[in-house]
């Protein structure tokens, strides 16, 4: 059983929703970022999404774009992101790690080499936002063959005709983007999101996790209650960008996790 499947099985057994956090690898520097990632499970994070910095992050809002720019300025690369996963795995062999980013760095490195190294490093899943299902041969199917989940995003514009194609080779979980737009945009309303989550769950047995725009424990609780869990990214990244210490950012994250887990 994969780490992602095992995590969701354990959460179901406990009657809890998942809390997923996103942080940008290398922001504001490698050492601080690694300290933060290492502390996330203790703050209640069930699955870590680790952003790979990229020069043209078209799906990201200003907060995460700026985090990526800070990381790139510090020399963060795809290889160093894999180094961070390896370092994390030295002390934690159970928390799932999902790498989230764009295809260009993977393509430039070579898909086969990347997947081999990602698997060896301890990566459990990939979210690659600029590869549609029509390009599954590029990375999705090779990733699945290597034992790495390929997690697809569904959005408010994914209609009933499109949804089966989106779900076809998705594994691990489905990431539902609760609003139309970029990361860090307006807060989602649970009443609006619930019917969409139900529609997706009727079409798949995979867990459905909702992200984009969640900033408070109350919002995390409300969204997690109508799904299998929630994702918070921009709000955590913004705390770090404001100059807060790693301990303060982890305390903020723990409050969000308690909100999600109380759903």
pLDDT of residue 178 exceeding 90, the answer is: no
Give dist(CA 233, CA 253) in Å, integer: 10
Tell me which residue of 247, 185, 180, 255 sits closest to 220, measured CA to CA.
Answer: 255
Q: Which residue has the higher pLDDT, 191 or 20?
A: 20
Q: What percent of the chain shows pLDDT beyond 90?
A: 90
Active site residues: 49, 60
| pLDDT confidence tier of residue 182, bands split at 50, 70 and 90 | very low
Average pLDDT, the chain: 95
| pLDDT confidence tier of residue 180, bands split at 50, 70 and 90 | low
pLDDT value of residue 187: 62
pLDDT of residue 139 exceeding 50, the answer is: yes
Q: Give the model confidence (pLDDT) of 38-59 as tens digits.
A: 999 999 999 999 999 999 888 7
Q: Give the model confidence (pLDDT) of 67-76 as tens digits.
A: 999 999 999 9
pLDDT value of residue 184: 47
- What domains sit in the chain, N to C, each tagged with a CATH number? 3-261 (3.20.20.70)
pLDDT value of residue 186: 54
Q: Give 140's contacts (C-beta < 8 A, 6+ positions apart).
A: 131, 133, 150, 169
17 to 14, 141, 165, 182, 226: CA distances (angstroms): 9, 28, 26, 24, 10
């Amino acid at each position: 059983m994969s780490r992602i499947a095992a995590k969701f099985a354990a959460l179901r057994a406990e009657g809890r929703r998942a809390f997923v956090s996103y942080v940008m690898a290398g922001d504001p520097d490698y050492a601080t970022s690694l300290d933060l990632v290492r502390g996330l499970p203790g703050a209640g994070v069930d699955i870590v999404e680790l952003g790979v910095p990229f020069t043209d992050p078209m799906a990201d809002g200003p907060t995460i774009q700026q985090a990526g720019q800070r990381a790139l300025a510090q020399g963060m690369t795809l290889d160093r992101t894999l180094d961070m996963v390896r370092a994390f795995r030295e002390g934690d062999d159970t928390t799932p790690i999902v790498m989230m980013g764009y295809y260009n760095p993977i393509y430039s490195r070579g898909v086969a080499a990347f997947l081999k190294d990602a698997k060896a490093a301890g990566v459990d899943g990939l979210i690659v936002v600029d590869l549609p299902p029509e390009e599954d041969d590029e990375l999705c199917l090779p990733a699945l063959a290597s034992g790495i989940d390929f997690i697809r995003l569904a959005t408010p514009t994914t209609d009933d005709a499109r949804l089966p194609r989106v779900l076809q080779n998705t594994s691990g979980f489905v990431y539902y983007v609760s609003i139309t737009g970029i990361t860090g945009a307006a807060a989602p309303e649970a009443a609006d999101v619930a019917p969409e989550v139900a529609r997706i769950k009727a079409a798949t047995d995979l867990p459905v996790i909702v992200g984009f725009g969640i900033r408070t424990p109350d919002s995390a609780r409300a969204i997690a209650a109508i799904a299998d869990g929630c994702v918070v990214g921009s709000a955590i990244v913004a705390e770090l960008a404001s100059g807060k210490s790693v301990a303060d950012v982890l305390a903020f994250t723990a409050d969000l996790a308690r909100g999600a887990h109380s759903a």
